[in-house]
Chain A
Amino acid sequence: MTIPIAIEAKGLSKGFQQETGEVVQVLDGFNLTVKSGETVCIFGANGCGKTTLLGICGGIENPDSGSITVLGAMAPHARVGYVPQAYGESLFPWMSLLDNVAFPLRVCGSGWNEARGQAAQLLQEFAPSLVATKYSYQYSGGQKQVSAVARALVASPRLLIADEPFSALDHSARIAAQDVFVSLVDRLQLTVVAVTHDVKDAIYIADRVLIVSGPPLRVVDEVAVALPRPRPPSIRASATFLSLVSRAIDSFLAAQT
């Protein structure tokens, strides 16, 4: 049986004009295919175009040329959860955490009570330590990040796009959040495209890691992560995991030279 395609991007190009008038070509004929249910992590240096690619996949940026089909529809589209890089700023400081998480359900047609009920249920599972009645500015960076991930998951998306979803978390919170994240992704059969600057994050959550450089963005290597799912936390200490980490780092370093 053929696995359906979740994202098909062909020949994406996108340039940004600098203050000097010079145009920096961030994407130049970039292609990407992500299968349904697959988790793809993009690992590369700052400023190479990863966030722009995610913005286009999420429908919040338009390419200058090229085409993208997401979940069978031309972008922009519904059923996409998005964790932006500016996760803290993206939360609404005038709303409680519960209302922030409930927001996608509210704008998709649910009443506030129903939306809050579902949001509370998700928070109970994903971030039980957070007090849902507080405002987002009363939380730490890590707690805001967890809230942004919860908001992205609440509307049962089929595709989750995450820009450095664990970057603000300390080591133990990161491990815990990754475990919950991976189990939710498996349970909800989500397709995930995530950007990360931590190669261990990438190998732990992904089926495939794209090592990229740029601009313009290009894939310099692709690491297939043949680790079992569901992934036990102990897999991080296995020889296979460590050898995949080592290979990804080697490719990344080779791309920088």
Chain B
Amino acid sequence: MSSVESEVRAIVSEVAELEPAQITPTGTLADLGVDSLLQVEIAVEVERRYGFRFSEDELKRLSSFGSLVELTQAKLDAAGP
């Protein structure tokens, strides 16, 4: 597991009050009982953690843990070292 994945997992775990093991990469966050407001909160915490901002478009693609990690990693990679 990459460090980004484990950090994002920790954020989701804290905000959504879930055990880290419950957070599966497939299936939507909504399936885990994470409502839309919590999803926005998770996005805000990720933005804070890494110092970037998700665009309106990107926010719409964050409905699963897997896509959240993927997009976060992609933005970090794009930002360069």
A and B associate = no
Interface of B toward A, CB cutoff 8 Å: none
